[in-house]
Every structure is written in structure tokens, then in C-alpha cells.
Structure 1
Amino acid sequence: MFPETLVEGEAAMAVQSPPSQPSNVQRLAEPSQLLKTAIVHLINYQDDAELATRAVPELTKLLADDDPVVVNKAAMIVNQLTRKEASRRVLVQSSSMVAAVVRAMTTAVDMETARCAASVLHSLSHQREGLNAIFKSGGIPALVRMLSSPVESVLFYAITTLHNLLLHQEGAKMAVRLADGLQRMVPLLKKSNPKFLAITTDCLQLLSYGNQESKLIILANGGPEGLVFIMRNYNYEKLLWTTSRVLKVLSVCPSNKPAIVESGGMQSLGQHLTGSSQRLIQNCLWTLRNLSDAATKQEGLDGLLQILVTQLGSDDVNMLTCATGILSNLTCNNSRNKTLVTQFGGVESLIHAVLRAGEKEDVAEPAVCALRHLTSRHQDAELAQNAVRLHYGVPAVVKLLGQPHYWPVVKATVGLIRNLALCPANQAPLREAGAIPRLVNLLLKAHQDTQRHASSAQQTYQDGVRMEEIVEGCTGALHILARDPINRGEIASMQTIPLFVQLLYSYVENVKRVSAGVLCELALDKQSAELIDAEGASAPLMELLHSNNEGIATYAAAVLFRISEDKSSDYRKRVSVELTHSLFKHDPAAWEMVSISIHLVYPRPAPNESRKLAPADPRDLDKRELAGLKMDGWMDYKTDISKTFL
């Protein structure tokens, strides 16, 4: 029970009991043995502390010796002392000792001395007092210089110590930047040790977060290329995670963004979206979301697009936010990506995302924008327009126009409705879902807002959206909906014609174009044509005939033709001359020939004689097609959605 009482050389009596079942004597001996061990450790701790206390003054002098051999031996001894906690605490409390170690590392003429000194600082950096002592002793510039060492162990000690300082020491980040630490760290991305790279990339993240100058230094030293290379070629999860964190920070920098994309960042980040590490997937998604507005022309994203469509089924709101945002930007003005997403079942998935989004604008807006892109200007646009209806998306889309208004969502929805209306089969479902009254109400509200601020030079913004854009969008959507006779009657019955005529005077050219376009459709009905004429539309339409905008001039011509059908022969002739002059104003020879033919075709009528013009097809007014009737959707627009300042 008390083996220490045995005479030296004697053996303790063997206990007859199986090893798995200790005897009562053995169980009673355990506490005394633990107590003995603790006492021995305490004595050793005190001995270590006393030894270090006595040795520190002499070792400090030896570290400053002129003889490199003496300095080397002293550094080795100090390194041994830091292996034990008691002596390490004593060393930390001596600022002169820490300063001597820093100086020895800086002036070392042999790699072994530098290695021992770097090891000492590394050991001290695991304690808060040690970090403070290193910082106050000028250790950061010295450690930064060590990042150029050819010795791997010195590099490891230096980067790890700097990492600890960046994490826990106030003022360390600025000190590292001032010591040109970033310029030394970025080239280290070419190293091959995954654990070393993980520490290095984490240092880059700590230094660049919230500091634009650091981001630009990383860019100038080739950081994006090195980081993308790591994402493409390594599979160590911690390294991939720390690297993705740096890329996430850099992805909100306008200068770094294109550099990351051009280095293949979209493809490299995309290859990690199907892994098992959720933290890595989240970082990759946010980074892709931030980069996506700079990657609309990138090729080779087929696999990424397919993965993103799959992720639209996620219940994770962050994943849904990112997937919809990325798809919205990657389908902007890229017909190939639009076709691919449509073929991958993107329309149905986006509709489900809209339904699940509820009041989450960060999901609803990009999802609707993506649908708007998919329903226009690519080979499968009509397929996408039909798919929205077939997957019961029309009511969900129209519902987004209701209160409360979040204007970016409204703007995207209006554009989507316009595109959907291009498909004849969607006209009735849109009407039945209540699209027309909602569009008219939005138009009235937006127009009233613009009128209230008309006296000031500033444009009317709500949630970052100009109200003139809402006016243009709603009018454009009603223009396409008016192609259907029933819709045409409903639009006219809501007292909209006076407003459309008023919009002909707008200072915004696109508003003039769409208002002339909707009047062109409404004028197909005789009653509406009479109302248009009664509202005094002829005067602004005559003026718009001379517009340099081809669409405006052609629509104005069409409306004038339609409202002049029941007018006198003189009036029709005057309109005809004005139209022809406008349409051929850039071709004097053609104008001369046409002006002669007009007098032949339209001789002055005899008294009480009238000549009725045949209804004119607007497309026959000119060799040009009616601008707008051939337009198959609003122009796509991409969004810089890297909102978080990093």
C-alpha cells in the first residue's frame, strides 16, 4: 500500500487477484499514489520556476553576446526552458528576455539560432502575457522578416506566431500591415503543406476583413490566382474552408471580383457545393453570389447551374437566397445559361422557391428576376413562358404585386408578367389572376409619386427603385396584355386612356414608347380610338412622329392611322403626308417620290364626297417592323448583391 517505504532492492508482495478486479488494498492505494504524484509535480514546478528565475538574467546577457556560438547555445537553452510551463511563465514576465530573443532571431547568422528563437516566440504566443510581450518587444516586424526564411520550421513558427497575434493581440493587424506582412504572406500560397496553407489563408482573412487597402495588396501580389488554385487542387477541409473565407471577403471588392472570376473561381467554388461540409458549402455559395454579377459572360458553368437548380429545393433560407441570387445574375443577358437552366427544370424550381419565400425579399426578388430572364430572348423562352403557367405559377407571380410593396420585387414581377403575356396561352390566366387591375393600380400610384416630385430635379426612388421604371414597366405589361381583345376591353374600362395620353408627354423616352404602344393596341377598338382622339392625343402623337426613336415614331404613326379612319378625307390626307414625311425623312429621294404619289392617290374630293381609308396595318407603315412588337421582354439586368461590407 505504501511502496515508498520498501527497503531499496526489496520487491513488493504479489497480490493474488485478476488484473480486471483490483484488490481492496490496491484500491486504497490509488489516492495516496495520486497525492504523491501531485506533490512531485508541484516540487518539480517550483524547481523549474526557481531555475528559470535564476537563469534569466544570465541568459539575457548571453543572447546579446557577440559570439554567434554563444548566442546559439543560449537560444537552445531558452528554447528548452519554454517546454515547461513554470519556466515559460517566468520567461514571459521578463520583457528584457523576450526582447533579447527577438533580437537574436533578427540578427542570427545561422539557421539553427533563428529556429530556436522562433520556437521560443511560438511557445510564448500561446499565453496572453506572451503575446503582449512579443508585441511590445517589436516581435511582429521580426516575425514578418522570418516569412522569407528558406527553413520550413522557421516559416511554420513565424506564421503560427503571427496567426496567434492576429487572433488575440490588439494592434497586431495594423502592425503586420505596416511591416508589409501581406506582401510576404501572399507568395506563401505556393507552398504545398495543407496545414501551413490553412494558417496562412486564415491570416489573410484576418488582415483583409473590412480593410480595402489589404484587399488591393492581396490582388497586386497575385492572391486571387493562388487562392483559386487551392480551391481547385486540395481536399483538406479546413484549408478549403479558410481559403473560401478569404475569397468571400475579396468577392465584395470590385477590383478583386473580376480577377477571381477570370482565374476560374466560379468553377472552382462550384465543385465544393456537393460535399459534406456545410460550413464550406455556405462560404462557397455566398462567395459565388457575390461574384455572380461579374461572371455573366463566363463559360463552362453548366455543372454549377445544374447544382444551383437542385439547391433551389433546399429548406435552408441562406442556401435559397444564394442559389436564387446566383441564378438571377448568371442568366442575365446570357442566352446559353437561360436555355440550360430552363432545360434543367429551373422554371418549376424557381416557382416553388417563390412560393416558399413568402415575405423574404432576399429570395423573392432574385427568384422572380431569374424567371424574368428565362422567359425572354433565348431559344426556349416560349417553353419557359408556358412552364410558368403549367406549374401553376401565374397566381403566385401576380400575388407579388399586392401590398405591402417592396419595389424591387414589384419591378421584377412587372417585367415577368410582361414576358408571360407574350405567350397567347397566358393571357387569360393572367387576367383571371387579377393582373390587370393590380398593374393599373401600381401604375397610378407610381405616376402620382412622380408627379408629386416633378417640380424637383431629383428622381423619385423607393427601396432603390425609380418610380419612372415602375411607370414604364406597368405600361409595357399592359401593352402586351392589350393584344388580347378581352384584356383590351378591361384595360380601357378602367379609365386608363387619359393617363396613357398624358404619358405621351413624359420626359422619359421609354415611357413615351410604351404609352404609344399600349394606345396602338387599344386603338384597334373603335370606341377606344374615339376616346383616344377625344383626349387630344393627336397633337402629342404628331410631335412623336418626328422622334429619333424608331419605336416611338412607328407606334405614333399606327395610332394616328387608327384614330383617323372616320375622319374627313382632308384630315386623312394631312395625316398621311405627315406620316410619310416622318417615315421617309432620312431618304429625300423616296420622300419626293411618295409626295408625288400622294397627290395621285388622294386627289382633293368633290363637295359632299368622302373617301374612307382602308384600315392600315401598322406594319405596313414602313419597311421597318413595329419596334416593341418584336421585343420579347424587358432587358435583363444583373444585380451587385455583395451587400455585406467585408
Structure 2
Amino acid sequence: MRFFHSGFEQWLKHQEILIAAEASSSFSSQVNMHNDDKYLGKFPGQVGRHSSSTCLVQSLYYNDGFAPTLINIQIQKNKNKKTNKHKDTDSCSQYSLTRAQRVRAAMFPETLVEGEAAMPTQPDPSQQSNVQRLAEPSQLLKTAIVHLINYQDDAELATRAVPELTKLLADEDPVVVNKAAMIVNQLTRKEASRRVLVQSPTMVGAVVRAMTTAVDMETARCAASVLHSLSHQREGLLAIFKSGGIPALVRMLSSPVESVLFYAITTLHNLLLHQEGAKMAVRLADGLQRMVPLLKKSNPKFLAITTDCLQLLSYGNQESKLIILANGGPEGLVFIIRNYNYEKLLWTTSRVLKVLSVCPSNKPAIVEAGGMQALGQHLTGSSQRLIQNCLWTLRNLSDAATKQEGLDGLLQILVAQLGSDDVNMLTCATGILSNLTCNNSYNKTLVTQCGGVEALIHAVLRAGEKEDVAEPAVCALRHLTSRHQDAELAQNAVRLHYGIPAVVKLLGQPHYWPVVKATVGLIRNLALCPANQAPLREAGAIPRLVNLLLKAHQDTQRHASASQQTYQDGVRMEEIVEGCTGALHILARDPINRGEIASMQTIPLFVQLLYSYVENVKRVSAGVLCELALDKQSAELIDAEGASAPLMELLHSSNEGIATYAAAVLFRISEDKSSDYRKRVSVELTHSLFKHDPSAWEMLLGCSIFQHLNINMFI
């Protein structure tokens, strides 16, 4: 380093002059103060104004950044006291260095010759002197220059070695190849030589070939380590990709050596993350077929990298998802989710399952492997990113798990999560509950019994205009209020928890038709409970249903001529017509509601709907007319609208519900007709409805649906 130190000689002399000037000035002022009697009093141990037993030496060290501190050095003239003599000699010797030497000692301590005193230490180690502060930038500069020199040396060494090492890596002698691979591996440890290697395509290609053809595991390990080191730079990734490194690395995934496996999977992971074209290259090299079996390994960190590779390869690629399925991927992934607790591994695995959960083929496989239960284990953990992934995956899987058993714990957790203010969590929880309660009476009863109705109502209230929450929440309520042993309990719970006004409000403008469709179905179920009839009427359900019915029917009529089905937001308008008519049918069971429905000029529309090409629309239309016909005035209006002709045709329908409702309406509108007309209707009914079982006619006459009719008029 002599050339480096000599380069600073002039600068050091300049610093010496500055420091000497400062010290001289300060020393002069101190001498003047020394001649002052008052000043002498401040230094204990001084016995006289002109005492020659004390000498004052100016220190270069400051206790703070500004005021200098004088160091009293007591030099006793009594040479008979040996100990004092040695003490005085030691004290003064540390100041015998020249100022330039002290600066050099601070900045370049390695230049001190053996036995030469180093810089004296500060009394207070927490404070730096000015010289120490002055030394810091020079030390940093010196370190940077040393690193630069070493970097240049490394680069020059690698540049000279690359051609020879490239030849050695291609040698026929395995021992030579092994030694060459070890040397190259050492070179990649330093940045300068690593950059030189990256810039040599022939070298990278030689390393790839050496790894592929290695007859011993040590050579393969060194070569894989080299590629791993190079993959941390973009230039290295490109060099590996162009040299055919991906197929070679994929083959290394079958290695029995753990370190080779780690280097191979990590390098492939870096390529998949940052190198364009790497994903396709891995797929073409059958990388997925090699990676999926690695899920049986036990190292959590290795598994985390492997699962992330699977996610990168399968995202947006259906073929990759099917390959993972064919190689037993769902079972391995579910096993990891169920049995490991390393958060990063759980998170990367949940990401793969989330991607696979949108694949129709993978869904049932994940569910059958116990994926719903395994994912449910992590919904109460502390990792929010893991919880979110598990929820979205469960939401995607839930429509394939409606018949799955053993979900009690999951359902209870989901009900509890309905109290969350997080929109994503609400969206997922309501969606999962909606699917799991669809056509599953056990799940419906369980959710109802653990407070699901109240929680869902609160979710609807908090959702506001967020359709992603409102739609599944209303669908779940619709499921809970129908066809299970506690359905009536759920119907009452909606009313008791003040849910009816909130539900009816969802029918208002603006219309998001999936929410409207779900709400109409829920209102129909709520109307099945007699106690809910009045609250529904008071909340304005009837006029809103009628307005929706008119709008949907008009849309279907406009598109009927073009023979097109009308869709809005993915919902067929015929479904809205059917739903609204069905809800009005149940609401019409209440006499007050019946009168309100008839007063809104709905009878002509219901009669017109009897001609619909949709069978379910015919059924609900005949049903609502059956209820309205209980009132004599409404029955007359039905007859006046010419309902008899279509009703006569519907008597011959293969749908028993349609035929029964049509018969009931005909009975009621025939009450004031002539006896001949009534007999003709009776004969028609007998031949159409009861030709296979005439005795059923007598049973029908006793049913409640005909209780308001004068039965004798048909005799």
C-alpha cells in the first residue's frame, strides 16, 4: 500500500499545518491565562505562579466537538523517587509523536512500525476526537480502493482462467472435470469473477454439460452450485436459458443428493420468476412431472420453493393443472396444508391450491383429499395472507363440496367471520356459506342453530351496495329459510332480527339482477311464515315485486320477436318473471295482501303469463290466479280477461302442479256460470285430471284448495 500512502503525503502535511496552527493559538491563550492568579486557582495542585514543577501540554483531543481540554501532566523533579520518574516518562511519551505521525496513526494504523505508539485513547470512549472524526472518511476511501483493487484482481484472474477451465470441463477424465468444476465454483463466490463467467456463453455451456454428464455426485453438485450462483443475476439467467440449462436442471430434480436438488429447484425458481420463456421451457422438459413427486420431501424450505414453482407453472395454464392432477398433486398439497406449520410453506401451498381450485377437474380431487377441512384449520391463525388464500380457495371449492361431511367446525368459523369488517373476508365467508348450505339440510340446520341467520343479516346491512357480499349473503338466507327442519325457525329469525326491511330494500333501484333474483326467492320463503306476511307488506314488498315483474316481462316481450333470451348481469329475465310471480303467489295467501295485489291491475298480466313457453312461469301464474280467485271480484276479472281458454288447455298439462292450479281457478270462476257450463267443466276435469283414477276426484273436492267453492254446483 506504499503507493497509496504516499499519495496522501501532501494532504497530510497540509492537515499538520492546520492542526499545528490551531494548537499553537490555543496554547498561547492558555499560557496567558496561566499568568493570571485567578486562573491558577482553577487547577488544584499548582503551588505558585511561577512553579516550574508543572508543565502544560496542549492536547489534540477534544471531549466534545468544540472546546479543547488541557491535560495537566505533573512532572516531578525529584529524581530520587523512581516510581514518579517512570510515571512522568510514560505520560509525556505519548505526546512525543509529531502531529503528522499522530494523524497517520489515526488514518493508517497499519503503517506503524513495531514498537511505535499508536493513537492515545479518549478518556470517554463514547466521544470521538477531531482527529478520529477526520480519519473516518479516509478509512472508508481506503477500504473502497482496496476493494476496487481486489475486484480488479479477481476479474483479471477469472478472465485469464476462463478459456483453460472451459477446456478442462470438457475433458474426458472425470477427475479433471471434477477439479475444474470445483475451481469454477470457487470463482463464482466473488462478484467480479462471477460477472466474467456470466459473459462467457461457452463457459456456461460447459458447466451445463459437465453437470449433465457427471459420473460422480460431487461434480454434479459443484456444477449445480455454479448455475445457482449465476442465476442471481439477470445476465446469468439469460446465459443459463440460452445454453440449454433448463432441461439439464430438470433432470437434476431426480438426483438423490439433497444439495443438488436444492441448487436445481432454486435455480429453476429464479428462472421461472425472472426469465422470459422459462415457464414454457420447464413445461416442455417435463418439469411438472419431476416437481410434483418432490412434494413428498420433508424439508419445509425446500417444499416452499417447490410449491411456488408449481404455482408459477400452473397459473393461467390449464394443461399444467391437469398434469399436476395426474401426478397426484392435490393429495400432496393437502397433506402439506394439514401437517406443516411453516408459514411461508403454508402460504405458497395455499397459492397453488387457489390456482387449482378454479379447475373443474382438480376441484373434486382436492375436496376428496380433505382439502376443505385442511384449509379450515388455518382460518383462525395470525397470518392474514394465509387466511385470505385459504378463504378464496375454500370459496372456489365450496360448490363442489355441498355433499361433503365433517364440515361442522368450518361452518362455525365462517359464521364467526361474518362479523369481520374486511370486505374480502365477508365476500368469501358469505360465498362459502351460500354454497355449503345449498341442498344440504344438515348444513342448513347447523348454520341456523349457531346464529347464522343473525350474522348474515348483519352482513347484508354492512354490505350496502357491495354486490359481492349482498348476493351470497341473501342466497345463504334463502337456503336457510327453506326445506330443512329449522326452516320456520330461520324464517322467524329474519323478522326478529329486523331483517325484513333490509331485505326488501334490496329490490330497489339500481337493480343488480343477481341480488334481485336471490332477494325475490328469499321473500317468497319468508312469506311462507304467516307471521311475516304483514311485515313484508308494511316494508313495501308487494309494489316492488309488481314493478320488477312488469319490467322483466316487458324485456322478455321485446326480445321474443327476435327469438332471443334476455340476459342482464347474467340473469335471464324469465327467471325474474317466475320469481316475482311465485313470491306474489305466496303473499296472496293473506287476504289483505291479496286485495293489494289485485288492486295493482296485475290480473291481465297473470292471465297473459298463462301462455308463456316457460313451464314454471305457467305454474306460478296459475298459482297466483288460484289465490286471487278466492275473492269473487277478482274471479270475475279473471274470467273477463278470457282465462278460461288457456286454463282449459293447462288441464291437460303433464305437470301436475299446473293442472291442479288450473282446475282450481276454473272451479272458482265457474261458480256463477250456468249449470250446463259447470257440468261441461266437470266432465273436462274428470277426463283430463282423473282419467286413470276417478276416485281421486272425490279426494280433490275435499282438499283445502277448493274449500271456498260450492261443491254441489258440480253434481
After TM superposition, is the score higher than 0.5? yes
Q: Partners in 2 of 1:183 and 1:374 — Cα distance?
A: 44
The answer to which of 525-534 and 450-459 deviates more is 450-459
Q: Give the C-alpha shift of residue 247 in structure 1.
A: 0.8
Q: Do 1:118 and 1:154's aligned partners in 2 also have CA atoms closer than 8 Å?
A: yes
Q: Against the structure 1 CA distance between its residues 571 and 83, is the aligned structure 2 distance closer, same or farther, given a 3 Å change threshold?
A: same
Q: In terms of mean alpha carbon deviation, does 160-169 or 455-464 score higher?
A: 455-464
**Contact 1:125–1:131 (CA under 8 A) maintained in structure 2:** yes
Give the deviation of 1:544 after TM superposition: 1.1
- From the superposition, tell whether residues 20 and 598 of structure 1 become closer, same or farther in structure 2 (CA, over 3 Å): closer
Residues 577 and 598 in structure 1, CA contact (< 8 A), matched pair in contact too: no
SS, match of residue 459 in structure 1: coil
Change (3 A) 1:599 1:38: closer
Q: CA deviation at 1:361?
A: 1.2
Structure-2 change in CA distance of 1:190 and 1:443 (3 Å):
same
Provide the C-alpha distance between the structure 1 equivalents of 2:464 and 2:112, rounded to a whole number of angstroms: 81
Moved more, 560-569 or 276-285: 560-569
User: Which sits farther off after the overlay, 244-253 or 103-112?
Assistant: 244-253
Deviation at 1:12? 3.5
Task: State the alpha-carbon separation in 1 of the partners of residues 706 and 552 from structure 2.
Answer: 46
Deviation digits for residues 421-446 of structure 1, max 9, x if unmatched? 00000000111111111111111111
Q: Deviations over 1:394-421 (max 9, x none)?
A: 1111111111111111111110000000
**8 Å contact kept, 2:664–2:705:** no
Partner of 1:597: 706
Alpha-carbon distance change, 645 to 23 in structure 1, aligned in 2, over 3 angstroms: farther
Change over 3 Å in CA distance of 1:402–1:219 after alignment to 2:
same
Shift of 1:380: 0.8
Residue range with higher mean Cα deviation, 174-183 or 579-588: 579-588
Is it true that 1:527 corresponds to 2:596 in the alignment? no
Task: Say whether the 8 Å CA contact 1:311–1:320 is kept in structure 2.
Answer: yes
Deviations 1:288-342 (A, max 9, x none): 1111111111111111111111111111111111111111111100011111111
Q: CA deviation at 1:582?
A: 2.3
What is aligned with 1:227?
333
Distance in 2 between residues matched to 1:597 and 1:353, nearest whole Å: 43
Deviation at 1:38, TM superposition (A): 2.4
Q: Distance in 1 between matches of 2:713 and 2:430?
A: 17
Select between 16-25 and 379-388 the one with higher mean Cα deviation.
16-25
* Range with greater deviation from structure 2 (457-466 or 203-212): 457-466
Q: Using a 3 Å threshold, how does the CA distance of structure 1 residues 404 and 597 change in structure 2: closer, same or farther?
A: closer
Conserved 8 A contact 2:122-2:128: no
- The partner residue of 2:301 within 172, 180, 195 is 195
Is the 2:675–2:713 contact (alpha carbons within 8 Å) kept by the matching residues of 1?
Answer: no
Query: CA separation of 1:556/1:356 partners in 2, compared to 1, >3 Å: closer, same or farther?
Result: same
Offset, 1:522: 0.7
Question: Separation in 2 of the partners of 1:6 and 1:561?
Answer: 122
Structure 1 pair 215/599, CA: closer, same or farther in 2 (3 Å)? closer
1:467, distance to aligned residue in structure 2 (A): 1.0
Secondary structure at the aligned position of 2:634 is classed as helix
Which of 65-74 and 537-546 deviates more? Answer: 537-546
SS of the aligned residue for 2:713 comes to coil
Q: 1:47 to 1:493 in 2, by over 3 A?
A: same
Deviation for aligned residue 1:570: 2.2
Offset at 1:114?
0.0
Residue 16 of structure 1 and its aligned partner are, at CA, apart by 6.4
8 Å Cα contact 2:682-2:714 kept in structure 1: no
* Separation in structure 2 between the aligned mates of residue 450 and residue 433 of structure 1, nearest angstrom: 28
Distance, in Å, in 1 between the alignment partners of 2:482 and 2:353 is 33
Q: Is the 8 A contact 2:427 2:469 kept in 1?
A: yes
Shift of residue 265 of structure 1?
0.9
**Deviation per residue, 1:221-274 (Å, 9 max, x gap):** 111111111111111111111111111111111111111111111111111111
Q: Deviations over 1:59-110 (max 9, x none)?
A: 0000000000000000000000101111111111111100000000000000
1:138-164 superposed Cα distances (whole Å, 9 cap, x missing partner):
000000000000000000000000000
Aligned equivalents of 2:638, 2:161: Cα separation in 1: 103
Q: Which one is further off, 530-539 or 205-214?
A: 530-539
Counterpart CA distance in 1 for 2:152 and 2:612 is 89
In structure 1, the partner of 2:355 is 249
Give 3-state SS (helix, strand or coil) of 1:122's partner.
Answer: helix
Using the TM superposition, give the Cα deviation of residue 283 of structure 1 relative to its aligned residue in structure 2, in angstroms: 0.9
Seen in structure 2, the aligned counterparts of structure 1 residues 590 and 123 have a Cα distance that, compared at 3 Å, is closer
Change (3 A) 1:125 1:119: same
1:643, 1:71 → 2: CA distance?
A: 110
Structure number with greater CO (CA < 8 Å, separation at least 6) is 1
- Cα distance change of structure 1 residues 156 and 590 upon mapping to structure 2, 3 Å threshold: closer
Distance in 2, matches of 1:414 and 1:31, equals 77
The answer to whether the Cα contact below 8 Å between 2:289 and 2:323 also exists between their aligned partners in 1 is yes
Relative to 1, partners in 2 of residues 1:358 and 1:643: Cα closer, same or farther, differing over 3 Å?
Answer: farther
Contact persistence 2:230–2:236 (CA under 8 A)? yes
Whole-Å Cα distance in 1 between the matches of residues 361 and 260 of structure 2?
34
Q: CA deviation at 1:35?
A: 2.9
Q: For 2:404 and 2:470, how far apart are their aligned partners in 1? A: 25
| Contact residue 585 and residue 591 of structure 1 kept, 8 A | no
The superposition leaves residues 103-128 of structure 1 with CA deviations (integer Å, 9 ceiling, x where unpaired) of 00000000000000000000000011
Q: Aligned in 2, Cα 1:644/1:211: closer, same or farther, shift over 3 Å?
A: farther
Between the aligned partners of 1:9 and 1:296, the Cα distance in structure 2 is: 87
Q: Which moved more, 1:113-122 or 1:37-46?
A: 37-46
Distance 1:439 1:539 in 2: 27
2:338–2:374 CA contact under 8 A, matched in 1: yes
Does structure 2 conserve the Cα–Cα contact (< 8 Å) formed by 1:159 and 1:200? yes
1:590, distance to aligned residue in structure 2 (A): 7.8
Q: Structure 1: how far apart are the matches of 2:543 and 2:535?
A: 14
Preserved CA contact (<8 Å) 1:252 1:645: no
Distance 2:115 2:274 in 1: 54
CA gap of 1:508–1:599, structure 2 versus 1, over 3 A, is closer
- 1:310–1:535 CA distance, 2 compared to 1 (3 A): same
Q: Which moved more, 1:157-166 or 1:7-16?
A: 7-16
Return 5+ residue gaps in structure 2 as ranges.
Answer: 1-106
Does the 8 Å CA contact 1:258/1:294 hold for their aligned counterparts? yes
Q: Which moved more, 1:129-138 or 1:311-320?
A: 311-320
Give deviations 1:541-561, integer Å, cap 9, x for gaps. Answer: 121111111111111111111
Deviation at 1:498, TM superposition (A): 1.2
Using a 3 Å threshold, how does the CA distance of structure 1 residues 71 and 566 change in structure 2: closer, same or farther?
same
Structure 2 CA distance for partners of 1:9 and 1:599, relative to 1, 3 Å? closer
Distance 2:156 2:309 in 1: 37
User: Does structure 1 conserve the Cα–Cα contact (< 8 Å) formed by 2:548 and 2:580?
Assistant: yes
Check whether the contact 1:63–1:101 (CA below 8 A) recurs between aligned residues: yes
> What SS class does the counterpart of residue 403 from structure 1 fall into?
coil
Aligned counterparts of 1:84 and 1:598: Cα–Cα separation in 2: 97
Distance 1:118 1:643, change over 3 A: farther
Say if 1:326 and 1:599 are closer, same or farther in 2 by CA, change over 3 A. Answer: closer
Decide which moves more: 581-590 or 210-219: 581-590
Q: Distance in 2 between matches of 1:520 and 1:554?
A: 10
What is the Cα deviation at residue 36 of structure 1? 2.8
Contact 1:210 1:645 in 2 (8 A): no
Contact 1:17 1:23 in 2 (8 A): no
How big is the shift at 1:596?
A: 25
**In structure 2, how many angstroms separate the alpha carbons of the residues matched to 1:204 and 1:6?**
60
Report if the CA contact (8 A) 1:309-1:341 is conserved: yes
Distance 2:633 2:451 in 1: 44
Displacement after TM superposition at 1:515 (Å): 0.7
- Does the 8 Å contact 1:503/1:515 carry over to 2? yes
Q: Relative to 1, partners in 2 of residues 1:80 and 1:599: Cα closer, same or farther, differing over 3 Å?
A: closer
Distance in 1 between residues matched to 2:515 and 2:109, nearest whole Å: 82
**8 A contact 1:581–1:591 mirrored in 2:** no
Taking structure 1 as reference, are residues 74 and 7 closer, same or farther at Cα in structure 2, changes over 3 Å only? Answer: same
Conserved? CA contact 2:288–2:310, under 8 Å? yes
Q: Which residue of 1 aligns with 2:179?
A: 73
**Deviating more after overlay: 321-330 vs 582-591:** 582-591
Identity level (%): 95
Q: TM-score when scaled to structure 1?
A: 0.89
Whether the aligned pair in 1 keeps the contact of 2:647 and 2:662 (CA below 8 Å) is yes
